[in-house]
């Protein structure tokens, strides 16, 4: 060890002990030295005596001695300073060593415990930064390769400390803010005895030279260290001569270290306040009611009254424009983020719907055709990989970050709200000059939150805004990539299609005309199918059925004739049993109770009820004939008329029209002739002998002449086929 180059009054050397964790032994040695020194000086002084010569000599000696004393004092100071510097450096080294041991050895050993202790990593959360900054400090010192005795060493020390001060602050402040978590976790370990014993064993084996009884023994070291820097630096300063070249720097360093501590404490306080108010606990109404007590009710009513006073203008509102601007921006951001998230979720929902309906999975048995195959391939490519990739990218790059951002908004929102509450509280006591302890606390809380928000909110706003914009940029990039992919896909197929040569508009004209053509063809097909296949078969009636038909038609009119579609079994009284194909006439379409599905029918004598679902209107080959005029004319008159008729044939057939019989008519007497529906007829006279136009004299094929009711005849333009009759 180099010794300061000064004339040494004493011959002994400083017994410098080996570096140890405690600084006491060297100090004691120095003290001993100093005592010895003084003793020797005193001895020297008492030996000198009374004579004048001696006085001058004494004075000289005294002067020399005082010089010597000064020198000695200076040297002692220098030595102390050196020791102090040494202490700082050595303790730093030791501290670093222990920290590293803890972090690497102890931690890995603890992790190997079965089962590993819970939350182990949270105890070592910020320690790495602390180790980092500490080792950087030491390496800066070692780089210069100067010995601590050299005055330059002090300068280097101060410089390195100052240069690293911001980093030191950052690293330690996180660590300190997190320290309460560490103690919490360790307490949870202590609760489990077996685990705790294991942990202690591990600690003892990992770091044997230190008698530690808990993890916090090591983990508390950074907390102690940062508070120690000011002490160490001040000790050095105390022992440093103000004329020392590095004195100012040292002073500055000492101040910096004190300032560091102040900042770190303030930060810790901020964090505590923030943690307290940031979280919203989901409280049920019951919990909320339980929480009410006189104190909280008093608090809340006081706040409410203050707010009302503001709104009504009784008390002036403390307007903090800066804060209001920040809050305004925050609100706007919040709104924007929530809207964006909602819209993005809608977008993704629709995308997923699109992916779900797989239009490529159809099978028209058209596998020989190019167009459907191309389409299938395109659609498959889209749905199997292009769009799923797009969806996944959207999820990870946009949706997830947005969700995280939205969750982050909760904290500031709560703090802003709490600040308002505290502001109201604060305003009420602001005017008072003598604040009680609780009131001071309230005031402090308000100020803390306010400062916190004023500091942090701008940065938060800025970062959130940036995130939003970058997400929008990503959105657009994703779309662009998707579009490029799709373009490639389609281009590869476009050449294969037959009409690819047509330009855009021409193609659509062609496509639409084709579609119309196809529709038209479909319609004709439909119609032809309907016509030919849906004509119902008309069965010829058995004679008994014909009788029945006539009877019913006579009685009720042909409009009411129905045919039974299936066998009817009557269940209630007055119900009829009918066979399939029977002809009945409907008398009433409703029964006595109002049931419209039960019709009163006449089945040739029998009357009763039948279900309307089994009755089908009976269409005679043509529409039911109108009532025959037979009923209205008395027999004799008819007979008289019929005996005279002129054989004259009137060419009543219009050259362009053909008269046909519209309905079957069976002649009942000799003067009437039977005609069948659709039969072409020649009308001889459009009235009978008496001039009654209801009867016409006609001639049928085969030459038969006779009377036929006029309204049974119809006129059709020539050339049209008569209504088809399935027989004869």
Partner 1 sequence: MSWIPFKIGQPKKQIVSKTVERDFEREYDKLQKLEDQTKKLHKDMKKSTEADLAMSKAAVKISADLLSNPLCEQDQAFLESMAALDTAMRRMDAFNQEKVNQIQKTVIDPLKKYSGVFPSLNMAVKRREQALQDYKRLQSKVEKYEEKEKTGPIMVKLHQAREELRPVREDFEAKNKQLLDEMPKFYHSRIDYFHPSFEALIRAQLHVAVQLPAAAQKGTKAAFVVSLRLRCHESCPAAVSGTHRLACPPVQMLMN
Task: Please give the residues from 356 up to 395 whose contact with partner 1 meets the rule CB under 8 A.
Answer: 356-359, 361-366, 369, 371-372, 374-375, 378
Q: Which of 31, 187, 395, 466 forms a contact with partner 1 (CB under 8 A)?
A: 466
Q: Which of 67, 132, 430, 512 forms a contact with partner 1 (CB under 8 A)?
A: 512
Q: Which of 304, 511, 579, 637 forms a contact with partner 1 (CB under 8 A)?
A: 511
Q: Which is nearer to partner 1, 121 or 514 (CB)?
A: 514
Contact window for partner 1 (CB under 8 A) among 9-17, 30-38, 251-259, 519-527: 519-527
Measured at the alpha carbon of residue 422, what is the angle toward residues 421 and 425, in degrees to the nearest 5?
95
Beta-strand runs (E) in 103-258:
none
Q: Which of 30, 146, 489, 652 forms a contact with partner 1 (CB under 8 A)?
A: 489
Q: Which is nearer to partner 1, 124 or 493 (CB)?
A: 493
Q: Which is nearer to partner 1, 174 or 186 (CB)?
A: 174
Measured at the alpha carbon of residue 146, what is the angle toward residues 142 and 151, in degrees to the nearest 5?
125
Least separation in angstroms between CB 586 and partner 1: 24
Reading the block at residue 303, the tokens are 């706040």
Q: Which of 104, 385, 510, 640 forms a contact with partner 1 (CB under 8 A)?
A: 510
Least separation in angstroms between CB 530 and partner 1: 6
Instruction: Please tell me whether residue 420 binds partner 1 under the rule CB under 8 A.
Output: no
Least separation in angstroms between CB 360 and partner 1: 9
Residues 572, 589: Cα–Cα separation, whole Å: 17
Q: Which is nearer to partner 1, 31 or 359 (CB)?
A: 359
Instruction: Please tell me whether residue 436 binds partner 1 under the rule CB under 8 A.
Output: no
Q: Which is nearer to partner 1, 98 or 564 (CB)?
A: 564
Other CB atoms within 10 A of residue 74 CB: 14
HSE on the CB side for 176, CA within 13 Å? 24
Residues 410, 599: Cα–Cα separation, whole Å: 74
Least separation in angstroms between CB 325 and partner 1: 10
- List CB contacts of 88: < 8 A, sequence separation 6 or more: 157, 232, 233, 236
Q: Which is nearer to partner 1, 476 or 666 (CB)?
A: 476
Asked whether the beta carbons of 527 and 520 are under 8 A apart, the reply is no
Least separation in angstroms between CB 611 and partner 1: 20
Least separation in angstroms between CB 123 and partner 1: 17
Contact window for partner 1 (CB under 8 A) among 147-155, 336-344, 559-567, 671-679: 336-344
Q: Which is nearer to partner 1, 441 or 514 (CB)?
A: 514
Instruction: Please tell me whether residue 164 binds partner 1 under the rule CB under 8 A.
Output: no
Sign, CA dihedral 715-721-722-723, equals negative
Instruction: Please tell me whether residue 139 binds partner 1 under the rule CB under 8 A.
Output: no
Q: Which is nearer to partner 1, 57 or 620 (CB)?
A: 620
Residues 79-98 that bind partner 1 (CB under 8 A): none
Asked whether the beta carbons of 87 and 23 are under 8 A apart, the reply is yes
Other CB atoms within 10 A of residue 499 CB: 11
Instruction: Please tell me whether residue 715 binds partner 1 under the rule CB under 8 A.
Output: no
Q: Alpha carbon of 483 to those of 160, 363, 487, 575, 683: distances in Å?
A: 56, 29, 6, 74, 81
User: Would you state the torsion angle of the CA atoms of residues 586, 590, 596, 599, taken in this order, to the nearest 10 degrees?
Assistant: -30
Instruction: Please tell me whether residue 184 binds partner 1 under the rule CB under 8 A.
Output: no
Q: Which of 353, 501, 571, 644 forms a contact with partner 1 (CB under 8 A)?
A: 353
Residue 697 dihedral angles phi and psi, to the nearest 5°: -90, 125
Instruction: Please tell me whether residue 724 binds partner 1 under the rule CB under 8 A.
Output: no
Q: Which is nearer to partner 1, 357 or 720 (CB)?
A: 357
Q: Which is nearer to partner 1, 396 or 500 (CB)?
A: 500
Reading the block at residue 595, the tokens are 């049931």
Sheet with 682-685, strands from edge to edge, namely: 682-685, 695-699, 705-709
Instruction: Please tell me whether residue 701 binds partner 1 under the rule CB under 8 A.
Output: no
Please report which helix (H) or strand (E) contains residue 268, including its range.
helix 247-278
Least separation in angstroms between CB 472 and partner 1: 6
Instruction: Please tell me whether residue 417 binds partner 1 under the rule CB under 8 A.
Output: no
Here's the x/- map for partner 1, 12-51, by CB under 8 A: it reads as ----------------------------------------
Residues 271-330 that bind partner 1 (CB under 8 A): 271, 274, 278, 329
Q: Which is nearer to partner 1, 30 or 408 (CB)?
A: 408
- List CB contacts of 520: < 8 A, sequence separation 6 or more: none
Sheet with 561-564, strands from edge to edge, namely: 606-611, 598-603, 583-588, 561-564, 615-617
Residues 509, 519: Cα–Cα separation, whole Å: 15
Q: Which of 66, 181, 436, 476 forms a contact with partner 1 (CB under 8 A)?
A: 476
Instruction: Please tell me whether residue 132 binds partner 1 under the rule CB under 8 A.
Output: no
Q: Which of 339, 430, 441, 595 forms a contact with partner 1 (CB under 8 A)?
A: 339
Residues 558, 553: Cα–Cα separation, whole Å: 5
- Count the residues in the chain: 728
**Which ranges in 280-409 belong to alpha helices (H)?**
285-291, 294-312, 321-356, 370-381, 387-394, 400-408
Q: Which is nearer to partner 1, 189 or 277 (CB)?
A: 277
Find, among 692, 709, 712, the residue nearest to 640 by Cα: 692
| Number of residues located near partner 1, criterion CB under 8 A | 104
Which of helix, strand or coil describes residue 588? strand
Least separation in angstroms between CB 665 and partner 1: 22
The residues facing 711 across adjacent strands are: none
Please report which helix (H) or strand (E) contains residue 696, including its range.
strand 695-699
Asked whether the beta carbons of 584 and 564 are under 8 A apart, the reply is yes
Residues 233, 243: Cα–Cα separation, whole Å: 17
Q: Which is nearer to partner 1, 62 or 497 (CB)?
A: 497
Q: Which of 121, 248, 487, 623 forms a contact with partner 1 (CB under 8 A)?
A: 487
Residues 135, 93: Cα–Cα separation, whole Å: 8
Find, among 482, 486, 624, the residue nearest to 552 by Cα: 624
Least separation in angstroms between CB 476 and partner 1: 4
Instruction: Please tell me whether residue 659 binds partner 1 under the rule CB under 8 A.
Output: no
Residues 394, 355: Cα–Cα separation, whole Å: 14
Residues 598, 611: Cα–Cα separation, whole Å: 5
Q: Which of 61, 159, 198, 456 forms a contact with partner 1 (CB under 8 A)?
A: 456
Q: Which is nearer to partner 1, 279 or 300 (CB)?
A: 279
Residues 395, 345: Cα–Cα separation, whole Å: 9
Residues 49, 642: Cα–Cα separation, whole Å: 196
Here's the x/- map for partner 1, 238-277, by CB under 8 A: it reads as --------------------------------xx--x---
**DSSP-assigned letter for residue 678:** T
Q: Which is nearer to partner 1, 17 or 525 (CB)?
A: 525
Reading the block at residue 635, the tokens are 């027999």
Q: Which of 460, 562, 609, 663 forms a contact with partner 1 (CB under 8 A)?
A: 460
Instruction: Please tell me whether residue 343 binds partner 1 under the rule CB under 8 A.
Output: yes
Reading the block at residue 75, the tokens are 């040297």
Least separation in angstroms between CB 372 and partner 1: 5
Q: Which is nearer to partner 1, 194 or 537 (CB)?
A: 537
Least separation in angstroms between CB 493 and partner 1: 6
Q: Which is nearer to partner 1, 46 or 459 (CB)?
A: 459
Q: Which is nearer to partner 1, 354 or 657 (CB)?
A: 354
Asked whether the beta carbons of 412 and 452 are under 8 A apart, the reply is no
Residues 522-541 that bind partner 1 (CB under 8 A): 522, 525-526, 528-530, 532-534, 537-540
């Amino acid at each position: 060890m180099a010794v300061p180059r000064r004339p040494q009054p004493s011959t002994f050397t400083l017994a410098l002990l080996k570096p140890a964790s405690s600084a006491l032994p060297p100090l004691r040695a120095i003290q001993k030295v100093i005592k010895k020194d003084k003793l020797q000086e005193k001895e020297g002084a008492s030996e000198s005596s009374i004579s004048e010569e001696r006085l001058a000599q004494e004075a000289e000696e005294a002067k020399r001695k005082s010089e010597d004393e000064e020198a000695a004092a200076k040297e002692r100071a220098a030595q102390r300073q050196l020791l102090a510097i040494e202490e700082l450096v050595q303790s730093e080294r030791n501290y670093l060593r222990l920290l590293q041991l803890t972090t690497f050895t102890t931690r890995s050993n603890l992790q190997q415990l079965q089962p590993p202790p819970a939350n182990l990593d949270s105890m070592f959360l910020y320690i790495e930064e602390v180790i980092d900054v500490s080792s950087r400090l030491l390496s800066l010192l070692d780089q210069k390769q100067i010995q601590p005795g050299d005055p330059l060493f002090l300068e280097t020390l101060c410089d390195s400390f100052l240069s690293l001060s911001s980093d030191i602050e950052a690293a330690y402040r996180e660590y300190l803010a997190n320290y309460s978590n560490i103690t919490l976790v360790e307490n949870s370990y202590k609760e489990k005895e077996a685990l705790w014993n294991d942990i202690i064993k591990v600690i003892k084996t990992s770091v044997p030279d230190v008698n530690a009884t808990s993890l916090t023994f090591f983990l508390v070291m950074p907390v102690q260290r940062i508070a120690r820097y000011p002490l160490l630096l001040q000790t050095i300063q105390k022992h440093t001569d103000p004329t020392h070249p590095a004195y100012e720097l040292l002073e500055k360093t000492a101040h910096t270290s004190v300032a560091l501590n102040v900042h770190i404490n303030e930060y810790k306080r901020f964090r505590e306040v923030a943690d307290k108010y940031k979280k919203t606990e989901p409280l049920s109404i019951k919990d909320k009611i339980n929480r009410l007590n006189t104190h909280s009710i008093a608090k809340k009513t006081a706040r409410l009254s203050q707010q009302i006073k503001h709104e009504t203008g009784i008390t002036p509102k403390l307007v903090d424009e800066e804060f209001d601007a920040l809050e305004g921006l925050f609100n706007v951001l919040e709104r924007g983020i929530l809207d964006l998230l909602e819209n993005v979720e809608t977008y993704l929902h629709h995308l997923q719907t699109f992916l779900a309906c797989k239009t490529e999975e159809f099978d028209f048995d058209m596998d020989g055709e190019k167009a459907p195959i191309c389409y299938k391939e395109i659609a498959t490519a889209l749905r199997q990989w292009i769009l799923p990739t797009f969806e996944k990218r959207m999820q990870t790059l946009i949706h997830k970050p947005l969700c995280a951002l939205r969750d982050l908004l909760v904290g500031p929102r709560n703090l802003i709200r709490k600040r308002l509450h505290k502001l109201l509280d604060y305003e009420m006591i602001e005017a008072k000059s003598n604040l009680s302890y609780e009131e001071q606390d309230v005031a402090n809380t308000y100020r803390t939150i306010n400062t916190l928000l004023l500091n942090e909110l701008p940065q938060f706003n800025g970062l959130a805004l940036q995130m939003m914009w970058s997400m929008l940029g990503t959105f657009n990039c994703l779309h662009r990539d998707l579009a490029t992919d799709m373009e490639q896909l389609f281009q590869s197929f476009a050449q294969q299609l037959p009409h690819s040569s047509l330009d855009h508009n021409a193609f659509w004209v062609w496509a639409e005309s084709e579609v119309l053509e196809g529709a038209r063809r479909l319609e004709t097909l439909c119609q032809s199918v309907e016509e030919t296949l849906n004509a119902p078969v008309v069965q010829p009636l058995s004679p008994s059925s014909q009788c029945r038909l006539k009877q019913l038609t006579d009685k009720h009119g042909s409009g009411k004739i129905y045919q039974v579609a299936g066998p009817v079994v009557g269940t209630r009284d007055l119900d009829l049993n009918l066979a399939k194909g029977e002809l009945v006439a409907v008398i009433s379409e409703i029964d006595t109770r109002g049931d419209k599905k039960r019709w009163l029918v006449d089945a040739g004598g029998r009357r009763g009820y039948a279900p309307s679902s089994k009755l089908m209107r009976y269409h005679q080959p043509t529409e039911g004939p109108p009532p025959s005029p037979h009923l209205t004319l008395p027999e004799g008159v008819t007979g008289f008329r019929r005996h005279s008729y002129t054989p004259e044939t009137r060419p009543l057939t219009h050259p362009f029209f053909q008269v046909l019989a519209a309905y079957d008519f069976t002649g009942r007497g000799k003067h009437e002739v039977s005609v069948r529906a659709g039969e072409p007829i020649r009308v001889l006279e459009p009235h009978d002998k008496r001039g009654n136009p209801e009867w016409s004299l006609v001639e049928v094929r085969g030459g038969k002449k006779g009377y036929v009711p006029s309204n049974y005849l119809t006129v059709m333009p020539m050339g049209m086929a008569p209504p088809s009759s399935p027989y004869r």
